[in-house]
Amino acid sequence: MSILIKNKEQIDGIRKSSKLAGELLIYIADFVKEGVSTGYLDELIHNYTIEHGAIPATLNYSGFPKSCCISINEVICHGIPSPDVILKNGDIVNIDVTTILDGYFGDTSKMFTIGQVSDTAQKLVDATKHCLNLGIQQVRPGNNIGNIGYAISRYATAQGFSVVYEFCGHGVGVEFHEDPQIDHAARKNSGPAMKPGMIFTIEPMINEGRPRVKVDEIDGWTARTIDQKLSAQFEHTILVTETGFEVLTDVSNEY
Ligand code: MF3
Ligand code: CO
Ligand code: CO
C-alpha cells in the first residue's frame, strides 16, 4: 500500500462528491430533533443521496446495513440507524455520511445536540470540533502527518478528555479507506510528510472518560466507550494543496 497522489481529474471528482456529502449534513439538520428515529433520518439521507446521482458508500460496505452511521452519546462511531432508536432531549448525536459520486468518495460527519444538553456534553462537543480544526491547521506540504494527531491529542488531553486510538482517519477519494492512516494521537514530527494531491480524512473521536472502544457483540458494528461515558466526533475530507489545505466537505465556508 502507498499513498495515492490524486491527479486533477480525480481531485475534481472527489471535490464534487465531498460537496454533496457536506450538503447532506446541511439538508438533514432540519430533521434532527427530539422524537425522530435514526432509521427515518437514514431513509432521508439515502433518498437525498440517490436523488443527487450518488450512492451511499456505507450501504452494504463489509455488510454494514444502512446508508449512514448515527452514533448517540456513549456510541463512539458506526451506530446503525434504526426505526427503534428515537432521539431524546439531552442526546449528543454524530451523523456520518459518505457519498460515491461518479465513482469518487467524500466522507464527513458532525455532531448535533438535541434540546438541552449537559454542560459536560456541550464542552465535549465544542472541544471535539476544535480538535478537528487544530488537525486541519496542520495540513500543508512537508509537514509530518503525525503532527495532526499531536495537535489534536495535546488539546484534548488538556481539556481533560481522551483520544480514541482504535479508529483513525484515512486516505479517501478513489476508495473508501486508503492509505495513509491518520492517527488522532501521535508523536510530534512522526509519520510521512504531506504532499500536494494527497486527500485524507481527519475525524477525531474524543471521549469524556477512558479512550478504549468496545464493539457490540451482537450487531458487530456499534462501537461504544467501555465506561459508558460520552464520545463525540467531527470529520472532514481534506486536500493537501501547494500552499496548505482545502476542506472539500466544508460547504458552509468555515475554512
Ligand atoms: N464513514 C466512516 C468513516 O469515517 C466509515 C463507516 S464504515 C461503516 O470512515 F461501515 F460503518 F459504515
Ligand atoms: Co472517514
Ligand atoms: Co465518515
Regarding the beta carbon of 162 and ligand 1, being less than 6 Å apart is answered: no
The rounded Cα 131 to chain-centroid distance in angstroms is 12
**Quick check: 1 pLDDT over 90?**
no
Instruction: Give the nearest ligand 1 atom to 69 CA.
Output: 12
> What is the pLDDT, as a whole number, of residue 134?
98
Taking the centre of ligand 3 as the mean of its atom positions, its distance from the CA of residue 184, in whole angstroms, is 14
- CA-based nearest residue to 138, from 124, 155, 125, 126: 155
Q: How many residues does the chain have?
A: 255
Instruction: Give the nearest ligand 1 atom to 221 CA.
Output: 11
Taking the centre of ligand 1 as the mean of its atom positions, its distance from the CA of residue 57, in whole angstroms, is 8
H or E, element range at 216: none
Q: What is the residue whose three cell numbers read 509537514?
A: 143
Regarding the beta carbon of 178 and ligand 1, being less than 6 Å apart is answered: no
The rounded Cα 98 to chain-centroid distance in angstroms is 9
Residue type, 195: K
Each domain of the chain, given as residue ranges in start order, spans 8-247
**Which residue from 17, 45, 61 has its CB within 8 A of the most atoms of ligand 1, so it is best to mutate?**
61
pLDDT digits (tens, 9 = 90+) for 162-216: 999 999 999 999 999 999 999 999 999 999 999 999 999 999 999 999 999 999 9
Instruction: Give the nearest ligand 1 atom to 201 CA.
Output: 4
pTM exceeding 0.85 = yes
> What is the pLDDT, as a whole number, of residue 98?
98
User: By percentage, how much of the chain surpasses pLDDT 90?
Assistant: 100
Fold held by 8-247: Creatine Amidinohydrolase (3.90.230)
Regarding the beta carbon of 94 and ligand 1, being less than 6 Å apart is answered: no
> What is the pLDDT, as a whole number, of residue 33?
98
Residue nearest to atom 8 of ligand 1 (CA): 58
> What is the pLDDT, as a whole number, of residue 136?
98
Q: Is the peptide bond before 180 cis (omega within 30 degrees of 0)?
A: yes
Regarding the beta carbon of 23 and ligand 1, being less than 6 Å apart is answered: no
| SS3 per residue for 118-129 | CHHHHHHHHHHH
Instruction: Give the nearest ligand 1 atom to 62 CA.
Output: 10
Regarding the beta carbon of 48 and ligand 1, being less than 6 Å apart is answered: no
